[in-house]
Chain A
Amino acid sequence: MTTAREEILGRILAAKDNPAASSVDAVAPRSDRGPSVRPVVATPVIDTFRRNAIANGFGFSEAPSNTDIVATVKAALVENGAGTDITIAQSLAHIGWPNDWTIHWGMGRRIEHVCINTAVAAIAETGSIVFGSSSRSPASLNYLPDLEIALLSKSDILAHPEDVWRTLREMHGASATTWPRAVNVVSGASRTADIAGILVRPAHGPKHVHIILTP
């Protein structure tokens, strides 16, 4: 009996302009098909990113050095009226967080006021931050809190999404099993206009996203 897979692939082959020619080995690689048209990103890229991220509604601050990260996070918490019961990604365990905070190191919980995670990259074109899930950077932290704080290294800000893919390919290889389970591109707060077209923030995810630039 023909399986569905065989039958569907058979129909696809029969639909080809030249059905005899399987295209498995006959496709030009993407690089041969010319560069994609994309918006020009003004340099310095960091300025374009900052402008577009703020336009997306992100909060924005900068830690001048790694020793300033805790103080910058504290200021962001105050700015957003948030408490100190926080879930922090394991990727940030090396930072000396205050002892009087209630810190949870697991995946996101049902009720989350604040989560802190590390962004692996940022895209200046759209003012987006990019997270790559791993055991040390759970994806649920990006969607469950009321306030998400993302730590982003300045050197990880790239012009276009294509630059992010190139970087990830260099790190992981496109089809390697180390490729992150989830690459989450976040470009604004969670929102919906499904009730009479009225824009409401948040829907299911964070109401506020705050980016802290690190060296």
Chain B
Amino acid sequence: MTVLLDTFQQRSSHALHDARLQASLRGLSTGFVVRRADAVAAFADFEELRRQGQAIKDHALEHLDRYLLEFEANVQRTGGEVHWARDAAEARNIIRDLCRKANARTVTKGKSMVSEEIALNEALLADGLEVIETDAGEYIVQLAGEAPSHIVMPTVHKTTEQISDLFFEHHKRYGFHKRETDAAKLIAQVRTVMRDKYFAADVGITGANFLIAETGSIVLVTNEGNGDLTSTLARTHIVTVGIEKVVPTLDDASTLLRLLARSALGMDITSYTSFITGPKRPGDIDGPEAFHVVLIDNGRTKMLSGAYRSMLRCIRCGACMNHCPVYMSVGGHSYGWVYPGPMGAVLTPMIDGHETAKDLPHACTLNGKCQQVCPVKIPLPDLLRRLRHEQWEAHFISKTARFGISAWALLAKRPRLYHAMTSLIMPVLARCGRGKGAFKWLPLASGWTASRDLPSPEGRTFQAQWKRRQR
């Protein structure tokens, strides 16, 4: 997928004026957030669960070589193959080659953020393959030619009417000629279309929520059952997964699954959690004949070696974005790439570099909510601050912003000068704003006031008022 992050400001501005998107985002904030809070409150010691989740991931990351090798040995023992990819291009080539060897024409896909990260669909389509996303949300954005706007709810930006139009346009070839606007009828069409695809699939590609070293299993979590049908009915099952997803044992995965469902959806558990270990066994009457796991680095070892290792704990629940005021205002597409919200603001520059993701670390109010709800306690605000600092050091900050920040720093480091200047400015602003309550426009700050009001000051600075009360 092409990274388009240099347009973050235009995208977010567009999103702020998109009434339908704003209505969808409001629904998200009242849905996921409340359900998560209820689920967390119902768990006797969620803080201890978070602590254990963090400990499991930290342990697995510190001993990543051991657990990846153990995982690899167990996959091979059950007849599967493990492939290692340094970057996105290498991962794509491995999978293209596997599809060629399988004489593939039809490829079904379960939801996989990593496959989006490595731009897999584009590569397979260029090879002439039919590639079908089977998760209802991913299928809808695929038909629309869009990227997911949320890692758990890919269609959060789309209305029923828009989806109805899409299906009316694309489903005639499957015999659906009537425009449907009812969600159940629209999903019934998806179910019918996908049944044929599952059975026709030469290759089924899924992601994995976790890898289990002790058994060589991959874990798939869904509510729809599409990942299970993809991995069961295709002749070849290929798993695309980041190297950081491995955990030592099934018990460890159980702890992380308790965190995942509650943090992502406010549920105790999703409808389907599957532990898949290798290809079909001798005598089995279903299951794939071949099983491949593609372990993808693509910047992860760089994170492992530095100050960003904690980001590799991420279990892709989406809680950080559901609680982020910036994400909730601008939506996922504003972030311009696969991973939106606070986790994306860290991951994208780490995977794709500061040059293309320069705006993202600044798309944050540093209110700390993301860290508070993160199931594995990733210090996202600290990581974003560090990225800002690195951008400053590497001169990725625009000249205008550098001048502004330098001027501010000059003032802030001189308290007397700061106090003298604010003492002069406050009364002027207070006089100008008298009776208005707030400024809707200010010279040299129209960009700021375009989307928010500046409350007019009382007339004296905080320090002046404080001193007066002390007397």
Contacts and interface: CB of A to CB of B under 8 A. Distances in A.
B20 to A, nearest CB: 11
Contacts of B270: 187-188
B199 interface: yes
Contacts of A96: none
Interface in B386-410: none
B380 to A, nearest CB: 21
B77 A203 contact: no
Contacts of A92: none
B277 A180 contact: yes
Nearest to B51: A37
Contacts of A88: none
A183 B74 CA distance: 16
A182 B232 contact: yes
Contact of B281 (A108, A143, A181): A181
Contacts of B315: none
Interface stretch (B98-106, B115-123, B223-231, B337-345): B223-231
B250 A165 contact: yes
A177 B228 contact: no
Nearest to A168: B250
A77 interface: no
Given A139-B286, A183-B274, A184-B274, A177 B78 contact: yes
Contact of A198 (B86, B156, B183): B183
Given A15-B301, A111-B195, A174-B250, 19 more contacts: A8-B243, A15-B305, A27-B248, A33-B55, A110-B199, A135-B283, A143-B228, A165-B250, A174-B215, A175-B73, A175-B77, A178-B281, A179-B277, A184-B272, A190-B223, A194-B136, A196-B163, A203-B223, A205-B271
Interface of A: 3-5, 7-9, 11-17, 22-24, 26-27, 30, 33, 36-40, 106-108, 110-111, 125-126, 128, 133-135, 138-140, 142-144, 160-162, 165, 174-175, 177-198, 200, 202-206
Interface of B: 24, 27-28, 31, 43-45, 48-49, 52, 55, 59, 62-66, 68-69, 73-74, 77-79, 84-86, 90, 134-137, 140, 153-156, 158-160, 163, 183-184, 186-187, 190-191, 194-196, 199, 214-217, 223-226, 228-229, 231-233, 243, 248-252, 254-255, 257-258, 268-281, 283-287, 295, 297, 301-302, 304-305, 309
